[in-house]
Chains A and B, each alone.
Chain A
Amino acid sequence: MSLSNGELRESYLIKAIESIDQEMTDFLFSLGFYSGQKVTIISKLASNYIINVRDARYSIDKELAQAILV
Chain B
Amino acid sequence: MSYIDFIVIGVIAAVVALAIIKMVRNKRRGIKCSGCEGCTKDCTERK
The reply to whether A and B meet directly (CB within 8 Å) is no
